[in-house]
Amino acid sequence: DRAAAILKELADMGISVAVDDFGTGYSNLSYLIDFSFGKLKIDRSFVSRIDTDSSSGAVVSTIVGLSRALGVSIIAEGVETEDQATLLRAAGCEVVQGYLFGRPAPLAVMAGEGQVIEDSRRVANLH
């Protein structure tokens, strides 16, 4: 209850909180109801198999649909190939991050490159 109240306060202040590694570990569906989140991040374990396993593709499409129904943003993490990016775009995922777009770098390094920073990892919009 305390965590839910804190997350609600953050959301009321305009601070968006993401559920990282969605679909694995402790990030279960009840959290989407109990807590205020602005973003879901699809875990790399689904992304890494999206081009070789139809079940992973179905899970990704379902998570994208769920995020839309809840009105939250969706980010796919761990994108390493053009095929993965293409399939994610087809599934409706508009924001991705991963080695295909750049290696993780300290914020100070990225700021020194004059890049627009949305996250501490490189992010690409697939519109």
Q: Active-site residues: which are they?
A: 77
How is residue 79 written in tokens?
A: 């994108």
Query: Is the separation of the CB atoms in 22 and 63 below 8 Å?
Result: yes
Closest by Cα among 86, 71, 65, 83 to 16:
71
Measured distance CA(69)–CA(103) in Å, rounded: 32
H helix or E strand, kind and range, residue 15:
none
* Rounded Cα distance, 35 and 43, in Å: 19
- The CA distance from 114 to 68, in Å, is 32
Report the 10 Å Cβ neighbour count for 114: 6
